[in-house]
Structures are given as C-alpha cells and as structure tokens.
Amino acid sequence: MLSPETIEKIKTRMALASVFEEDLEESFILGSGPGGQKTNKTSSTVRLYHAPSGLTIKCGLNRSREMNRWIARRELAEKILERAQSELSTRRQAVEKIRRQKRRRSRRQKARMLDEKRKHGEKKAARARVDPA
C-alpha cells in the first residue's frame, strides 16, 4: 500500500503538471500478464485518459487497483512535464541555432575560411582542360 506521504508527493506532482481530477476519465480493464487466474479475472488495470492533453495511460503493475490508480496518475504527470520540458528545449535550441548563424566570424575564422576557399579554387583550376595548342 502507498503511504500518505507518497500520495501527497503524487498530488503535488499532478498540480505542478496542471492535471486535475475533473479532467481525468478513469476506467478499469481486465489485467494481463503473469499472475494467473487472479489477474486475468479481476479488473485491476487502470486506464486514465487526460482530455486536455489527449494522453492515455494504462497501468497494471500491481494486483491492487488502488496502487495502480496512483501509479497511473504519477506516470501521467511525469509524461506531461516531460513533454513541456522537451518543447522548451527544442524552442531554446532553435533560437540558439539562429543566434549562431547570425553571429559574426572572428578574424581568424574568416582568414581560415578564405584560405580554404582559395585553395579549393586553385584545385579546381588545376582540373581544367589543357589546350593542345
């Protein structure tokens, strides 16, 4: 059984992810996997659907319906927070990429680039046809 402290931690995580109980649709479905007749006959697996985000979580880790309910809520909150972090991260990466592209090259970088271009031009000029005159 989950301790009251663990349940409180899950509730704070849900609040941080803006997951509210009224937004959740909870249903219980038949379990599967190891555990034999008991898990196959009882509806202890929890299916949570969070309408605002469109996420669905299924949790049937334990034989206890109550534990599965809280574990599913924790997984949902974690998934929503992870999605928000990745969106921020990709946005930050895009801004940084544009900043790097617009940044002016140092004198040394510019000299090296022009030197490479000059060498490349010489190499291509050496490939030109030789006139048989």
Q: Hey, what domains does the chain have and what are their CATH numbers?
A: 4-86 (3.30.160.20)
DSSP-derived secondary structure for 10-29: HHHHHHHTT--GGGEEEEEE
Alpha-carbon dihedral sign for residues 14, 18, 20, 26: negative
In terms of DSSP bridges, do strands 45-50 and 24-29 run parallel, antiparallel, or are they unpaired? Answer: antiparallel
pLDDT, tens digit, 9 for 90 and up, residues 29-85: 988 777 777 777 888 899 999 999 899 999 988 888 899 999 999 999 999 998 888
CA 121 to chain centre: 45
Is the pTM for the entire model greater than 0.75?
Answer: no
DSSP-derived secondary structure for 42-94: S--EEEEEETTTTEEEEE-SSS-HHHHHHHHHHHHHHHHHHHHHHHHHHHHHH
pLDDT, tens digit, 9 for 90 and up, residues 85-125: 888 888 888 999 999 988 888 999 999 999 999 999 999 99
pLDDT, tens digit, 9 for 90 and up, residues 14-31: 999 999 999 999 999 988
Say what the pLDDT of residue 73 is. Answer: 94
The first and second tokens of residue 13, run together, are 């995580």
Say what the pLDDT of residue 111 is. Answer: 96
Say what the pLDDT of residue 40 is. Answer: 75
Say what the pLDDT of residue 133 is. Answer: 67
